[in-house]
Structure 1
Amino acid sequence: MTKILTIGFTQTTAKSFFSSLRNAGVQKLIDVRLNNVSQLAGYAKKEDLKFFLNEICKAEYIHLPELAPTKEILDPYKKGNGAWSVYEEKFINLMEKRRVESLFEATYFDNACLLCSEKQPHHCHRRLVVEYLNSKWGGSLEVKHLV
């Protein structure tokens, strides 16, 4: 069984965010955001995040936009013009089209944590990524959402 975690950074202090990662034993943080230079939290911009992860958690930073939605899928939902169910369906279809399950082995995600912006996983694509991969890999991912 491969242990994978997920986390969002909005509405979270840097202290809480990095403590959660360190306490969970995260060895690599996989950024699944389309835009990894977000201004939503200063510590979550690509270069700052890479530095803090190494200094505080001794963890690696990886950006995988292959696991992010497109702007065309994300914008209508973020701007309030689209329902979650529509976003979810379009994003799952995108992952199928990209065949993301063939890009990695499940073990690639062992002791890794998927990062995006949403605080809670229930309306966040990081949860959809893990559920999609789990469905393709026979449930081999043991998932924990850090909140």
Structure 2
Amino acid sequence: MKLYTIGFTKKSAAKFFGLLREAEVTTLVDVRLNNVSQLSGFAKRDDLKYFLSEICDVQYAHRIDLAPTKSMLDDYKKRGASWASYEERFLELMKNRRVESTVPQELLNNAVLLCSEDGAGNCHRRLVAEYMAQQWGDVSIEHLT
């Protein structure tokens, strides 16, 4: 199984959709807690669904069960919790939600996980991809940058 990740910040629409086309992904799985923010530009849910279909022939899915809780995100972004603490809490959340059993493997096969962060280093999309790879085995991960 091949699983990709991508963030939309610091990317033009041309770069973003070009990366998706080049990777030949079939589905974009939005793992953001808030996918309708005005700050999302071309990655706002309804616009993104349209662009994905028209530009890349890619399906769109939103999986809130692969997003952090609001309090967890606020602790990290607004209250200065460390990345290590956030990562530990997020992985425990994935374990408690049993996402490896509730998210269909076929949904993530040749899919890309979307979040806002430019890089995957300190982003939960990387944690989701690595968690699924650990649980399912035989999953290769590529971060599109």
Show structure 1 runs of 4+ deviating over 3 A.
none
Tell me which residue corresponds to 1:97.
Answer: 96
Does the 8 Å contact 2:25/2:110 carry over to 1?
yes
The count of residues paired between Structure 1 and Structure 2 equals 145
Q: Give the corresponding residue for 2:143.
A: 145
Which residue matches 1:26?
25
Partner of 1:135: 134
1:77 to 2:76 alignment:
yes
Superposition map of 1:1-147 within 5 A: 2-137=1-136, 139-147=137-145
Structure with greater helix share of residues:
2
Query: Aligned partners of 1:105 and 1:51: how far apart in 2?
Result: 24
Distance 1:61 1:108 in 2: 10
Distance in 1 (CA, whole Å) between partners of 2:124 and 2:23 is: 21
Q: Give the distance between the partners of 2:36 and 2:94, measured in 1 at CA.
A: 23
Counterpart amino acid of residue 102 in structure 2? L
Deviation at 1:140, TM superposition (A): 1.8
Q: CA deviation at 1:80?
A: 4.8
Q: CA RMSD in A?
A: 1.0
8 Å CA contact 2:27, 2:107 repeated in 1 = no
TM-score, normalization by structure 1:
0.95
Identity percentage over the alignment? 54
User: Which segment is superposed worse, 105-114 or 123-132?
Assistant: 105-114
Extract unaligned runs of 5+ from structure 2.
none
TM-score scaled to structure 2, two decimals?
0.96
